[in-house]
Chain A
Amino acid sequence: MATQEQRTSIVWDYAPAPESPDHVRLRDSYGLFIDGDFRDPGDGTRVQSINPATEEVVAEVAFAGPGDVRRAVEAARAAQPGWAALSGLERGKYLFRVARLIQERARELAVVESMDGGKPIRESRDVDVPLAAAHFFHYAGWADKLSYGMGGRAVEPLGVAGQIVPWNFPLLMAAWKLAPALACGNTAVLKPAETTPVTALLLAEILQEAELPPGVVQIVPGDGAAGATLVREPDIDKVAFTGSTSVGKNIQAALAGRGIPLTLELGGKSANIVFEDAALDQAVEGIVNGIFFNQGHVCCAGSRLLIQESVAETVVSKLWDRMGRLRVGDPLDKNTDVGAINSREQLERITALVASGEEEGAVRRTVVCDLPDRGYWFAPTLFTGVAPAHRIAAEEIFGPVVSVLTFRTQAEAIEKANSTPYGLAAGIWTDKGSKAFEVAAALQAGVVWQNTYNKFDPSAAFGGYKESGFGREGGMSGLRPYLRHDVSDPGVTL
């Protein structure tokens, strides 16, 4: 018979619950995906893609040289008329097929995304991969309704799109870029990010399996130089870039005078505004989702937390308590909340900015937790006593670091939220509907979430104000950057 002591002495913690990578079939080496097949680089190189949680090699990947980029653009150009000549319904069929194949290989894609980028499997499984499939489904449905989506005007594709995606959501960003471009009848050359090219190459396999006509999509991994070459290619008709504001500015300068439509989705320092009448416990959850989702490697991360002074102490104390319960570690463990920092370079950037915060006099609190010996890690960090002039209040940290500022009135909240060169996203936490609408209308941010944060849907437009970029991705407005709608001949293919 059990005694009283036995009953009360049961210690309970979660056992490790790693998602097994056994079912993943990665090749040892991936070529450049050009004209429907994987090809050896001509003037490029081969590099190893590293798992940031273990510093082990995930796979060897070909990086494109300038000649390879040229070959890719040529293949896209050659395939474009045929692709555009297909009826929208036919193009939609291919996209539906791609969406379904992503779903079929969802588990594998999620595991590889976590291995290559360091994000928790919970996120790659529940967010990245399902949303990537959802984007293809969404734009598959638009492919035969393009004119309707553009207010009944006659439209035609732009031609060849050069697309550059960042390392924080490698597969999802590839889907955001490719799905609308293809639906509209363009062909594409996509350059995945230097540190996270592998899932885009799995997507290339999926495109093959879907029997997408050769040349419609090229996937050419490479470093910044490859991206710079791509945007300077004379034979492209459209550039879409997601990444840092500094690179975005370079691209815009490179395209100056060329009349090539450009979409830029750049950095952010988004304000997450908590009013005193908010549901505070749920606001704390939203703060956590806003800044610790994907280790803070999110362009719209709620990295500037603005709390009304009357509840600031309460919210910070609840937030700190909640941060202590975050499970940091092995990205492949199903119970991990915060994974590895994407690269050594990014870890150094975060470390430097956090050090500047301390030097400038802000109060730093970092969660104490066991971190693995190998790999790149940064424990969740909170700064209080932050002044708007501090670097950590103004510059994008792109890591699991939140800076807390306070405000007294609604007007002050709006003024502080808008006082930034960026304008990508914002969050508003209040139980009062009228206040939410009033504040949302006054914020210069492309996305405003009310009583939630970091929610994405293929039907919702996403994009920035000011130095966070221009152009919109997602939904009906995501068609516009890939269509010419000033055509005089109404008989063009739709």
Chain B
Amino acid sequence: MIRRLPHVDRVGIEERAATLGKRSIKTTAKQQGIRLAVSMVDLTTLEGSDTPGKVRHLCAKAVCPAPSMPEIPSVAAVCVYPSLVAVTREALEGTGVKTASVATAFPSGQASLDVKLRDTEEAVAAGADEIDMVISREAFLTGDDARVMEEIVRVKDVCGDAHLKVILETSELGSYDHVRHASMLAMEAGADFIKTSTGKTGTGATPGVVLVMLEAIRDYVDRTGRVVGMKAAGGVSVSKAALHMLVLVKETLGDEWLTNERFRIGASSLLNDLLMQYQKTETGRYARPEDFSKE
């Protein structure tokens, strides 16, 4: 595979991302944008203290985020650790909301391939619709692209019908060139989605990183015709940031990507901010945080 890898100019990409952050999203565009963003949320809980009880509460919230505002759609998925996939699956049965599970020694990915594959198999067997794997940053940063791809290919194999989201953990990659490079590796290896971050390290889905990945997707889709989705996760906690993401998608990949089949936002605290902002557009007043259940 002798192909020129495109470079990314840091100043240029950040300038473009910032320009798109200045789009004025008001009135009906804001309402529709917030509803769209809600429908794209992967409502996430990835804590050592997660219990079946907490996860069931979260599932109820995912299906019906705001009982007082029936026009607010369900979120896209609930994302949990493999051990909680079964209870999530059961709670979401028949609702259309997907069950997503992290896997492959999330979040560090520091385990043998066998362990990663077992981890994935268990999550799939328990009923996960979607698997969020991490790439081996250790392999990537030592220049072992082949191992990065090999792992993705093998995990994809055991996923079966489950969709595979490949987490690049961009904050650990060190440059936009690396983010772009890792995006291409993940897509070549069969990723259904590429995803920014685990949410467990520093920064995650910054506008610049998201734009680099969207541009990588655009080039890959242009070349191969295979559709790949994008998941922005890590640090998207307020409505303004979520709407900024939607603008990036709209003006890079186009309206076809403005659906939760192709774009997701991984978040835990974003959903309530979206609800508060939506209510503000309806009533003209800001809601209190306690007006919406935490989970």
Q: Is the CB of B6 within 8 A of A10?
A: no
The proximity string for B residues 1-28 relative to A, scoring 1 for CB distances below 8 Å and 0 otherwise, is 0001011110111011000001111111
Q: Is the CB of B39 within 8 A of A10?
A: yes
Chain B interface: which size bin?
35 or more
Q: Does B35 contact A (CB under 8 A)?
A: yes
Interface residues of A in 1-31 (CB under 8 A from B): 1-4, 6-8, 10-15, 17
Contacts A280-B6, A282-B8; A12 near B32 (Cβ below 8 A): yes
Question: Could you name 25 residue pairs across A and B whose Cβ atoms are closer than 8 Å?
Answer: A1-B95, A2-B70, A2-B74, A3-B96, A8-B261, A10-B32, A10-B36, A11-B32, A12-B36, A12-B246, A14-B23, A15-B25, A17-B24, A17-B25, A126-B22, A278-B7, A281-B8, A281-B13, A285-B16, A334-B22, A335-B23, A431-B7, A431-B9, A451-B9, A451-B11
Q: Is the CB of A279 within 8 A of B251?
A: no
Q: Does A258 contact B (CB under 8 A)?
A: no
**Chain B residues in 8 Å Cβ range of A104:** none
The proximity string for B residues 93-107 relative to A, scoring 1 for CB distances below 8 Å and 0 otherwise, is 001100000000000
Give Cα distance in the complex from A29 to B56, angstroms.
Answer: 70
Tell me, rounded to whole Å, the shortest Cβ–Cβ distance linking B15 to chain A. 8
Q: Does A325 contact B (CB under 8 A)?
A: yes
Query: Which chain B residue has the least Cβ–Cβ distance from A276?
Result: B4
Q: Does B199 contact A (CB under 8 A)?
A: no
**Chain B residues in 8 Å Cβ range of A277:** 7
**Chain B residues in 8 Å Cβ range of A282:** 8-9, 11-13, 16
Give Cα distance in the complex from A6 to B11, angstroms.
Answer: 39
B: residues with CB less than 8 A from A are: 4, 6-9, 11-13, 15-16, 22-30, 32-33, 35-36, 39, 63-64, 70, 72-74, 76, 95-96, 215, 222, 246, 250-251, 254-255, 258-261
For the residues of A in contact with B, the DSSP-based class is loop
**Chain B residues in 8 Å Cβ range of A280:** 6-7
B33, B73, B74, B260 interface centre (most CB from chain A within 10 Å): B73
Q: Is the CB of A13 within 8 A of B29?
A: yes
Query: Which chain B residue has the least Cβ–Cβ distance from A125?
Result: B22
Q: Is the CB of B9 within 8 A of A12?
A: no
A-B contact count (CB 8 A): 98
Tell me, rounded to whole Å, the shortest Cβ–Cβ distance linking A481 to chain B. 32
**Chain A residues in 8 Å Cβ range of B260:** 7-8
**Chain B residues in 8 Å Cβ range of A122:** 22
Query: Which chain B residue has the least Cβ–Cβ distance from A311?
Result: B4
Q: Add 4 more A-B contacts to A2-B74, A7-B73 (CB < 8 A).
A: A12-B32, A15-B26, A285-B12, A325-B254
**Chain B residues in 8 Å Cβ range of A366:** none
B9, B11, B39, B250 interface centre (most CB from chain A within 10 Å): B9
Contact with A10, one of B35, B74, B251 (Cβ below 8 angstroms): B35
Contact with A4, one of B6, B26, B70, B96 (Cβ below 8 angstroms): B96
**Chain B residues in 8 Å Cβ range of A452:** 11-12
Q: Is the CB of B12 within 8 A of A286?
A: yes
**Chain A residues in 8 Å Cβ range of B36:** 10, 12
Contact with B24, one of A1, A276, A278, A335 (Cβ below 8 angstroms): A335
The proximity string for A residues 276-297 relative to B, scoring 1 for CB distances below 8 Å and 0 otherwise, is 1111111101100000000000
Contact with A1, one of B9, B28, B32, B64 (Cβ below 8 angstroms): B64
Give Cα distance in the complex from A13 to B13, angstroms.
Answer: 23
Query: Which chain A residue has the least Cβ–Cβ distance from B28?
Result: A15
Tell me, rounded to whole Å, the shortest Cβ–Cβ distance linking A335 to chain B. 5
Give Cα distance in the complex from A2 to B261, angstroms.
Answer: 16
Contacts A14-B25, A15-B29; A8 near B9 (Cβ below 8 A): no
